[in-house]
């Protein structure tokens, strides 16, 4: 969805032309899979980290990203949906040696530069899944970034809904129900999206592994317990995002279109092409924009795929020589609480996916897809307190599973990747202590409120003060 488009208004002919080109490019992509056209090599790591711009005094959203971007002049910082959101990006790098330490150093510097620029505008940067102080009134169209693709997305989703408002209904510790007139609810959910470039030969195994480990990933990283004054899920961002992009349209008059934001419908079997075939067959086009990029870069396939938000999403990219490659985008992880926590989450993901994706015993044969999906939503609701069904067919407490099985497996995976031992010890050690202390971002926020009262501005102030030290959340005062 990073592709900008030339117009936000479309005709029936635009849809027809786009669908024709999408079909042609999808056929090309199928041939690439059959011919094994994708570049191989070392696994490549990268990320996208969404952040909030907030006012220094009120700790409320600061809708200034246009002015911020003019001042920032930073190639690693881009716009997001709302005027109070930005995105911090990484330079892709080979996943070995001191890669994790390099990612940490790069992100600290990008965060510092962005925060300095925000400070010049009377604002500051905060990394958090859902900003506790945000209100429904701030998630309105007047705070949407002035990008045509965002306007078009909003218009098309509302059109396909027949003008009916989006209904938010989340039951957690409390119950939140409301109606909303646009897609800006999505902008209340900010994430740390982990990217991994994979070889064609192991793409299916790694993609399925990414979905299996989504439950423990969301449990360790949950950081969104509050929304509009209600205490909901440990990671409320999950149901919020799923419900904020609901399209009620019917494709070809046959059946209801599937959810645009979802865990998916089953494991990949033979190749990741199956996801793109499903995109073509089951998902109506939302943004039929004229695209002038060369067809060999599959611009229609990529734009259409960008409007389907699976929690684990396959991506097509291209190297400097124009050769295509495959990436997995892992989307369950919330932004924050600190930069070092963020890199620890990435280390856990990279190690665990490497271990599960390469072991002889194929994990998806020992955990049904429906159970992996149930695990994910249960972990999003209860965080580290969840009990889930794992590969032995037995219910296991999430904390026990992570400490006794998954951290050792992640360590083994990172060793397979030849990650330097110091990085393995440091970043997995943070995950281990976080779980032992039962303190991810969500539990820290809830404990603070239990001790200090339901003052969302004061909570945000204290959270931000700790975040800026780059100390892991389990060491924050409680």
CA distance 324 to 33: 11
Q: Is 315 helix (H, G, I), strand (E, B) or coil?
A: strand
pLDDT in the model for residue 158: 86
CB 388 within 8 A of CB 375: yes
pLDDT in the model for residue 4: 53
Average pLDDT of the residues of the chain? 94
For residue 70, pLDDT beyond 50:
yes
For residue 16, pLDDT beyond 60:
yes
Q: For 240-265, how does the pLDDT look when each residue is reduced to its tens digit (9 = 90+)?
A: 999 998 885 444 444 566 899 999 99
User: What does the domain layout of the chain look like in residue ranges?
Assistant: 12-42+130-189+208-312+340-473
CATH fold of 12-42+130-189+208-312+340-473: Creatine Kinase; Chain A, domain 2 (3.30.590)
Q: For 162-198, how does the pLDDT look when each residue is reduced to its tens digit (9 = 90+)?
A: 888 999 999 999 999 999 989 999 999 999 999 999 9
Q: For 79-130, how does the pLDDT look when each residue is reduced to its tens digit (9 = 90+)?
A: 899 999 999 999 999 999 999 999 999 999 999 999 999 999 999 999 999 9
Q: For 400-419, how does the pLDDT look when each residue is reduced to its tens digit (9 = 90+)?
A: 999 999 999 999 999 999 99
Flag the least confident range among 4-13, 16-25, 243-252.
243-252
> Residue 430: pLDDT band by 50, 70, 90 thresholds?
very high
- Which runs of E-coded beta strand occur in 319-401? 324-330, 387-389, 395-397
Exposure pattern of 352-384 as b/e (b: 16+ CB <10 Å)? Answer: bbbbbbeeeeebbeebebebbbebbbbbbbbbb
Flag the least confident range among 51-65, 236-250, 391-405, 450-464.
236-250
Q: Per-residue DSSP letters for 93-122?
A: EESSBTHHHHHHHHHHHHHHHHHHHHHHTT
CA distance 437 to 271: 40
């Amino acid at each position: 969805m990073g592709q900008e488009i030339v117009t936000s208004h479309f005709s029936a002919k635009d849809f027809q032309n786009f669908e024709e080109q999408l079909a042609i490019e999808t056929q090309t992509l199928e041939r690439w899979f059959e011919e094994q056209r994708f570049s191989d090599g070392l696994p490549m790591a990268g990320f996208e980290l969404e952040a909030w711009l907030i006012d220094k005094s009120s700790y409320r959203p600061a809708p200034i990203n246009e002015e911020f971007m003019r001042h920032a002049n930073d190639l690693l910082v881009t716009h997001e949906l709302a005027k109070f959101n930005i995105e911090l990006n990484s330079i892709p790098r080979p996943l070995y040696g001191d890669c994790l330490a390099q990612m940490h150093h790069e992100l600290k510097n990008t965060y510092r530069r962005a925060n300095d620029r925000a400070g010049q505008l009377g604002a500051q940067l905060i990394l958090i899944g859902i900003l506790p102080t945000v209100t429904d009134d701030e998630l309105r169209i007047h705070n949407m970034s002035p990008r045509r693709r965002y306007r078009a997305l909003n218009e098309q989703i509302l059109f396909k809904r027949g003008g009916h408002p989006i209904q938010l209904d989340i039951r957690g510790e409390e119950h939140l129900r409301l109606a909303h007139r646009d897609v800006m609810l999505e902008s209340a959910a900010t994430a740390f999206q982990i990217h991994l470039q994979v070889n064609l030969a192991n793409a299916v195994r790694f993609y399925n592994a990414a979905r299996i480990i989504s439950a423990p990933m969301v449990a360790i990283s949950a950081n969104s317990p509050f929304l509009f004054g209600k205490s909901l899920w440990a990671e409320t961002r999950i149901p919020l995002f799923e419900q904020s992009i609901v399209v009620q349209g019917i494709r070809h008059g046959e059946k209801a279109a599937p959810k645009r934001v979802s865990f998916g419908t089953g494991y990949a079997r033979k190749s990741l092409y199956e996801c793109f075939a499903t995109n073509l067959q089951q998902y109506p086009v939302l943004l039929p924009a004229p695209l002038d990029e060369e067809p060999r870069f599959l611009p229609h396939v990529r734009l259409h795929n960008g409007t389907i938000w699976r929690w684990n999403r396959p991506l097509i990219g291209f190297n400097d020589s124009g050769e295509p490659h495959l990436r997995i985008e892992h989307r369950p992880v919330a932004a924050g609480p600190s930069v070092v926590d963020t890199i620890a989450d990435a280390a856990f993901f990279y190690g665990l996916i490497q271990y599960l994706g390469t072991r002889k015993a194929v994990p998806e044969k020992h955990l049904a897809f429906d159970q992996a999906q149930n695990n994910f939503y249960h972990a999003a609701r209860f965080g580290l307190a969840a009990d889930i069904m794992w590969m032995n067919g037995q219910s296991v407490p999430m904390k026990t599973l992570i400490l006794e099985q998954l951290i050792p497996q992640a360590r083994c995976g990172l060793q397979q990747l030849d990650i330097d031992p110091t990085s393995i010890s440091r970043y997995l050690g943070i995950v281990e202590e976080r779980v032992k202390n039962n303190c991810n971002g969500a539990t820290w926020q809830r404990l603070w409120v239990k001790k200090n009262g339901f003052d969302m501005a004061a909570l945000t102030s204290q959270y931000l003060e700790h975040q800026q030290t780059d100390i892991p959340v389990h060491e924050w005062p409680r």
